[in-house]
Amino acid sequence: MEPETEAAYADSVQQSWPSLVRAAVFLGARPHEAEDLAQTTLVRCYTGWTKVSSAENRDAYVYRMLLNCLRDVRRTRWWKDRQYDAGLDAAHTAEPDATDRVALADAVHRALGGLTKPNREVVVLRYFVQLTERQTAEVLGIAAGTVKSRLSRALAHLAADDHLLDFTGGSR
Number of domains in the chain: 2
Instruction: Indicate the pTM of the whole model.
Output: 0.59
Q: Is 47 exposed, middle or buried (0-12, 13-18, 19+ CB in 10 A)?
A: exposed
Domain that holds residue 56: 1-83
**Residues 18 and 73 reside in one and the same domain:** yes
Q: What is the pLDDT of residues 115-157, one digit of tens each?
A: 999 999 999 999 888 889 999 999 999 999 999 999 999 989 9
**Residues 108 and 49 reside in one and the same domain:** no
Query: pLDDT-based confidence at 99, cuts 50/70/90?
Result: confident
**Residues 105 and 137 reside in one and the same domain:** yes
Last residue of a domain, one of 33, 67, 83: 83
**Residues 46 and 115 reside in one and the same domain:** no
Which CATH number characterizes residue 48's domain?
1.10.1740.10
Is the pLDDT assigned to residue 89 strictly greater than 50? no
**Residues 116 and 44 reside in one and the same domain:** no
d(CA 34, CA 70) in angstroms, rounded, equals 9
Last residue of a domain, one of 21, 56, 83: 83
Q: Is 10 exposed, middle or buried (0-12, 13-18, 19+ CB in 10 A)?
A: exposed
**CA distances in angstroms from 117 to 94, 104, 158, listed in the order given:** 28, 21, 14
Last residue of a domain, one of 83, 103, 123: 83
**Residues 67 and 95 reside in one and the same domain:** no
**Residues 104 and 59 reside in one and the same domain:** no
**Residues 108 and 78 reside in one and the same domain:** no
Which CATH number characterizes residue 150's domain?
1.10.10.10
Mean pLDDT of the chain: 82
**Residues 60 and 110 reside in one and the same domain:** no
* Long-range pairs of 6-10 with CB within 8 A, sequence gap ≥ 24: 8/53, 9/45, 9/46, 9/49, 9/53
**Residues 10 and 67 reside in one and the same domain:** yes
- Farthest-apart Cα atoms in the chain, separation: 59
**CA distances in angstroms from 127 to 46, 49, 78, 120, listed in the order given:** 27, 27, 30, 10
Report whether 144 contacts 137 (CB < 8 A).
yes
d(CA 40, CA 34) in angstroms, rounded, equals 10
